[in-house]
A and B are shown apart, each in its own frame.
Chain A
């Protein structure tokens, strides 16, 4: 087996052009999935027998929460690869993840509060799931603050990578908080191995939204990665070609 593809992934000009070429292949399917998911979730799915139409917040809340965790794992894995193999592009991936993850963590918290008020009678509770998700937001913000505070890019990469990796501890805590502790938050009803606890018309829009958000993340990441690679490569001659094009 040859490892040329891996070495090519470490080459900034190759990554830049590859990212540019791949972006539309993720962006348009993402738009389609999210549009179909919104239609299905707001119009086609039947009201819940307990929560009525209030349960429709699920279709924006769960995908945002999924993004908050999936983006964090991507960021931490990229940071680890950057630390271990001293791969600049991996650090650029990690840095690109943070603002995306932070914003969707914010969306998960706000939509969760808007769901909590009518169903639990409170916008916020210092509950294990809610508190650990809030800590996730602070981890993202801390990561971005740390990067912004260190001028030397290599030192910023390394210091922020350590923070990202240490913060992984929080991910299983968020995920299992609803089973480990007595949480207000319900246990997962779709992401489980047994049959989902919802009829197809309710599950299908959710799966579309989850897929759409994931594709959107890839498209956003590829776009951000291009700007990260451009700013990191100060004086490379390949930049002349891509910038003048």
Chain B
């Protein structure tokens, strides 16, 4: 296990590289979902305002 974490002496480069990439993947998922939730909320609000104006 220690040998695995040490990455043959390259731990300081390998692990940050994986961390950055996985963070980018995770953030993309969060951002895309959040944008959809916001767009739906905004559309709902817009429809409500249209309904009240009538």
Write the residues of chain A forming the contact surface with B, with a CB cutoff of 8 angstroms. Answer: 34, 38, 42-43, 47, 52-54, 56-57, 60-61, 63-64, 99-100, 103-104, 106-107, 110-111, 114-115, 117-118, 216, 220, 223-224, 226-228, 230-231, 234-235, 239-240, 243-244
Contacts and interface: CB of A to CB of B under 8 A. Distances in A.
B40 A230 contact: yes
Interface of B: 4, 7-10, 13-14, 16-18, 20-22, 24-25, 27-29, 31-33, 35-36, 38-40, 42-44, 46-47, 50
Contacts of B39: 226-228, 230-231
Given A100-B28, A227-B32, A239-B47, 11 more contacts: A42-B18, A54-B10, A100-B32, A111-B21, A216-B25, A223-B35, A224-B32, A230-B40, A230-B43, A231-B42, A243-B43
Given A227-B39, A240-B47, A243-B44, A114 B16 contact: yes
Contacts of A228: 39
